[in-house]
Amino acid sequence: MDASQHLLMRTKERLETAMDAILRKADASTVTIRTRKFMTNRLLQRKQMVVDIIHPNLANLSRVEIREKLGKLFKSETDLVFPFGFRTQFGGGRSTGFVLIYDSMEAAKKFEPKFRLARQELATIDRKARSQRKQTKNRRKRLRGTAKDKKQVKKQK
């Protein structure tokens, strides 16, 4: 019968969503963010803090999500939030890391290390292959002074 089948399906759906909510797919509102050791670093024009994220039944948050949440919390652009060093506690459910929030983009570009800017697409590190870099370095070791700057023409072997 249609009505009973319908009812069955509806209850099944409701049960499923309830189970999901309980077990794994907890929604984002159950994530708690706590900040510790907050400090406004005027010298480097930023705010720095240790962040504890409690995310029961979830994998730990990605850096993008952390940036969004903290941007909302501290009312700054997500571009200026730089999280790093997040480690999840043994057993899951809790991760700790560090976050820096800069006052302006110039300050961020000045003080933040290149690799962290590159993570957020604010700077690029164009590099040659690692073996190439090492070979140039070893070639340079044989030269002295300004000859290192000159572009050497490779010898024909």
Partner 1 sequence: MVSNETSAAVDKRLDAISTQAKQVCGIIDKLRERVEDGELATGNGISFLEVKHHTMLSYITNLAYLTLLKLHGRQIEDHSVITDLIEDRTVLEKMRPLEQRLKYQIDKMLRSAVISADGAQQKQMQVDNHAHRLETTDDPEKATMADTSAKLAAVMLSEDALADPSAFKPNPGSLAADIREEDELAIKSGIYRAPRQMPVHYEEEGNETAKREKEERRMMERASRSRLVRDLMVEYDDRPEMTTATGNPSVGITDERFEKLAEERSRYEEENFTRISLSKKERKGLRTKLTGLEDEFAHLNDFAGLAALQKTAASSGGKTAILDRLKQKRDNESMAEKVMRRRKGGDRDSDDEMFAARSIHKNKRGKFQKAKNRINKRR
Closest contact distance (angstroms) between CB of 50 and partner 1 is 5
Around Cβ 102, how many Cβ atoms within 10 Å?
24
42 binds partner 1 (CB under 8 A): no
Closest contact distance (angstroms) between CB of 91 and partner 1 is 9
What is the residue whose two structure tokens read 């459910």? 93
Closest contact distance (angstroms) between CB of 90 and partner 1 is 6
Applying CB under 8 A, the site for partner 1 has a residue count of 8
Q: Which of 31, 35, 88, 98 binds partner 1 (CB under 8 A)?
A: 98
User: What's the maximum distance between 2 C-alpha atoms anywhere in the chain?
Assistant: 91
Q: Among residues 74 and 84, whose Cβ is nearest to partner 1? A: 84
40 closest CA partner among 110, 103, 128: 103
Return the amino acid letter for 79: D
Burial (CB count <10 Å: 0-12, 13-18, 19+), residue 48: middle
Backbone φ, ψ for residue 45 (5° rounding): 55, 55
Tell me, residue by residue from 48 to 87, as one string, x for binding to partner 1 by CB under 8 A and - for no binding: x-x----------------------------------x-x
Closest contact distance (angstroms) between CB of 45 and partner 1 is 16
CB 31 within 8 Å of CB 54: yes
88 binds partner 1 (CB under 8 A): no
Closest contact distance (angstroms) between CB of 74 and partner 1 is 17
Q: Among residues 74 and 98, whose Cβ is nearest to partner 1? A: 98
Backbone φ, ψ for residue 99 (5° rounding): -135, 135
Any idea of the CA torsion for 128, 130, 131, 133, to the nearest 10 degrees?
60
Binding site for partner 1 (CB under 8 A): 36-37, 48, 50, 85, 87, 90, 98
